[in-house]
Amino acid sequence: MSVLAYCAYQEFLESGLKTVIITGGAGFIGSAVIRYLIEQRDYRVVNFDKLTYAGNLESLVTVADHPNYHFERGDICDHVAVRKLFNEYQPEAIMHLAAESHVDRSIDGPAEFINTNIVGTSVLLEAARYYWSGLDDKDAFRFHHVSTDEVFGTLGATGLFHEQSPYQPSSPYSASKASSDHLVRAWHETYGLPVVITNCSNNYGPYQFPEKLIPLIILNALDGKPLPVYGKGEQIRDWLYVDDHARALTLVMEEGSLGETCNIGGHNEMMNIDVVKTVCRLLDERVAEHPQGVSEFAELIHFVADRPGHDQRYAIDASKINNDLGWKPRETFETGLAKTIDWYLGNQQWCDHVRDGSYQGERLGLASGE
């Protein structure tokens, strides 16, 4: 470590602010949480991330040199590194976002999902329990587990997921997240570890890796590539702008009831095909020069074989977090999507670097090897 880096590190350790460890802070949602905690709140933040294909420190350039931010590269499955992390930074809270997060990849290779999402969470829980058991003020500590509404499986044409909805995961991804939710709850019931759990609907916004629907559509459209829509595109998702999620997560970490779960959603139910058409329309309004032979981006829409086990509909009842914590999303789908598209149009360098990596937009997750 250079002298300058050592001084910055000492300043960080001695800042006297509350410390939060974020696992997976170089990912899409984790980086939004870190930007929020550093730029709009007064926390000392340690980002613990393995930097898999989905982790990107370029998503944190706005806070990278901030004295309250520190990055540690590491794997949540590594017992020694995780124990050292707690010991060194003495956090008031940990927000656990590190995960393998893409359903299609979980269909092609479930082992990594089981390892990171289930085993990794158990390693964190044990290290947190060991650290917490030595604290004088045990009530002040929080283990916040960040999870998904996909643990509840699929809804029919009506109804909403609420906090008591039964767990019925359909994919290896959602099954691994469901398992980790159960572990976290068990560590509360069995050992008294002060945990909170959140289950959120689909996020979108800046810095999302372009294997997920919205950035994939934006970047493929700009390149004049086909816009793949699974099946007939009739699956319904409940979309939430990522900065609204970051605010909600912080609120639950600070004020959520111990041992309880809280659903987070944006009341923005939309069919995938309508999401894709809206992205195309907003791009048409913004991009003067279309790719050759294309007059409207929607001409590029291309229906492809559906994902195996594809859940039909997700929709969240967010009344608990609305009523108990006073949280409401600030963005509508239209305003959030417009911001998102403007961000991708203005940040081509981030997009190019991500696309220079291992992922070039190929179809994943057909299970049949198609």
Ligand X SMILES: NC(=O)c1ccc[n+]([C@@H]2O[C@H](COP(=O)([O-])OP(=O)(O)OC[C@H]3O[C@@H](n4cnc5c(N)ncnc54)[C@H](O)[C@@H]3O)[C@@H](O)[C@H]2O)c1
Binding site for ligand X (CB under 6 A): 23-24, 26-30, 49-52, 54-55, 75-77, 97-99, 101, 116, 120, 146-148, 177, 200, 202-203, 209
Residue type, 322: N
Token couple for 155: 């809804």
From the CB of 26, what's the least distance to ligand X, in Å?
4
Among residues 229 and 298, whose Cβ is nearest to ligand X?
Answer: 229
Asked if 66 and 35 touch (Cβ cutoff 8 Å), the reply is: no
Longest dimension (CA), the chain: 68
Question: Is the CB of residue 262 less than 8 Å from the CB of residue 256?
Answer: yes
Instruction: Supply the minimum distance, in Å, between the C-beta of residue 101 and ligand X.
Output: 4
Catalytic residue among 49, 92, 104, 149: 149
Burial class (CB in 10 A: 0-12, 13-18, 19+), 310: middle
Q: How far is CA 64 from the centre of its chain?
A: 20
Question: Does the active-site annotation cover 88?
Answer: no
Q: Which amino acid would we find at residue 353?
A: H
Q: Name every residue whose Cβ is closer than 8 Å to that of residue 327 and which is 6 or more positions away in sequence.
A: 247, 248, 251, 264, 318, 321
In sequence order, the β-bridge partners of residue 198 are: 146, 262
Per-residue b/e over 333-352, b at no fewer than 16 CB within 10 Å?
beebbbebbebbeeeeebbe
Buried b / exposed e along 61-100 (16+ C-beta atoms within 10 A): eebeebebbbbeebbbbeeebbbebbeebebbbbbbbbbb
**Distance from C-alpha of 104 to C-alpha of 118, rounded to nearest angstrom:** 18
Q: Which is nearer to ligand X, 42 or 352 (CB)?
A: 352
Q: Tell me the residue nearest to ligand X as measured from the CB.
A: 27
Active site residue 173: yes
In this structure, what are the phi and psi dihedrals at residue 233, rounded to the nearest 5 degrees?
75, 20
Q: What CA–CA distance (Å, rounded) separates 87 from 10?
A: 15
Please indicate whether residue 149 is annotated as part of the active site: yes
Q: Which two tokens stand for residue 173?
A: 């991804």
Question: Which residue from 41, 86, 46, 97 is spatially nearest to 69, judged by alpha carbons?
Answer: 46
Q: Are 68 and 43 in contact (CB under 8 A)?
A: yes
At 89, list the tokens: 């930074």
Among 36, 173, 204, 230, the one annotated catalytic: 173
Residues annotated as catalytic (active site), given as ranges: 149-150, 173
